[in-house]
Amino acid sequence: MEKKSDVVVATERYGSTGFWKYVAKNGIIERRRDESESVGRRGNPVVGVFKRVFLPQGYPESVSGDYLQYQFWDTVQAFSSSLSGTLATQASLRGIGVGNQEATVAAATFTWLLKGTCIILLADGTGMLGRILFAWQKGSKLDSEAKKWRLFADVLNDIAMFMEILAPYFPAFFIFIVCTAGVFKSIVGVAGGATRAALTVHQARRDNMADISAKDGSQETLVNLAGLLVSLALIPLVTNNPMLTLLLFFLFTVLHLFANYKAVRSVIMETFNEARLSIVFQQYLEDKQILSPQEANLREPVFLEFRKMVQIKLGVRLQEVVKCSQELDLALKNNRLPFLLGVHNGCVCVCLGPKASVCDEIRAMCQAVWLSNMLSHQTQQKQSHWEMVRESHKLMDKVFDPFIKGVVAAGWDTGRTLLDWDEWRVEWKSKSS
């Protein structure tokens, strides 16, 4: 108990989990836990060790507010995926003759070496090709639409494992099915790894991406160990029991997809991508209300959409906006901003200048969203595209400044964006020249 004669000469804390003070008494400085600050904060020592091993240093201040909820659902999906993978692997091994009691040892060994090697080579080769092609086509989308592609990767992974389970029942197409599943899994590897990195960037609040990634790896290792122990008890039950295999796979898949959906839904990103900016800007045009990051993220679609809408292309070549000098004059009319807008082949195209700022990019995207909505709801051609472009400039002159101030006040990060701009940058002459 601290006496009145004791003098506190210093205090210290370890994040938000522990508080201490240094007390001077008779020329000696003694370190004591500050019970007044630590009330309700001292927990089980075992839990404390667990946190230090599996959570980033400085948790919870060093990560985003959605970290714990996301990691919980990510752990659930990883565990269920581990068990589903065990069932799929067992089915694949059965398909190449492992466990066939009717075969001799020599025949089983020959079958395993020949058939297994061919399948591995084919599956790996097609998987490598699929990985390269997917990264080429969709690499830039994995940053701007991380939630969608994260969920897509897990759905595709379940489809691939389901194909591996069914493959032994179609021996004539076994190699084709397994190779196709291999391609799917290679795409899953690219999409899953890239979107995980994008989400780690979002979670890191102290430039501690490496620490978060390392602790995420530790969590995954622990989950895989738990999955392995459960699998050891599971394999004897499902061996030579295809109905139970399919039933368990179905249950694990449902749990896996549900956990993944909850995981991506729990992520609250404060930077704008096309979907979030579109949601916030359209709401502002309706009632002048600015949605918070949490409100907009809850409305953001997390499934890939295949419905037909007026597409927006950002950072295109000049020839996709204007075709002649007359159209260039129309594009520059009432426009002194470092971007040009136009409509080409049913798409809203934005041509960006080299000196455009992040704020200019946000404004260009807002105008493109407005144009896209106007074109989507236009039942008949009442006005030309260039007239609509001029209207968009007039509208943005009125609403953009209060809009951008509102989004900053609502907690949005306007210092950078996740808008999917291509690399084309164009310098054009002003209309007067």
What does the DSSP assignment read for 264-289? HHH----B--HHHHHHHHHHHHHHSP
pLDDT value, residue 44: 66
Tell me how far apart the alpha carbons of residues 151 and 153 are, in angstroms, rounded to a whole number: 5
> Where does 333-380 have alpha helices with state H?
358-376
Q: What is the pLDDT of residue 133?
A: 86
pLDDT for res 112: 45
C-beta separation of 280 from 296 below 8 A: yes
- The string of pLDDT tens digits covering residues 88-120 is 887 766 665 555 555 444 444 444 444 455 555
Pairing of strands 28-33, 312-314: unpaired
Query: Thinking of the domain 67-266, which architecture would CATH place it in?
Result: Up-down Bundle (1.20)
Output b/e per residue, 249-279; b: 16+ Cβ within 10 A. beebbebbbebbbbbbbbbbbbbbbbbbbbb
Nearest of 13, 16, 12 to residue 60 by alpha carbon: 16
Task: Give the pLDDT confidence score for residue 340 in this predicted structure.
Answer: 93
Sheet containing strand 339-344, edge to edge, reads: 312-314, 347-352, 339-344
Query: What is the total residue count of the chain?
Result: 433
Q: What pLDDT does 38 receive?
A: 54
Cα Rg, the chain, nearest whole Å: 29
Domain extents in the chain: 7-42, 67-266, 274-409
Spans in the chain with pLDDT lower than 70: 1-5, 36-44, 92-125, 306-308, 379-382, 430-433
Say what the pLDDT of residue 100 is. 53
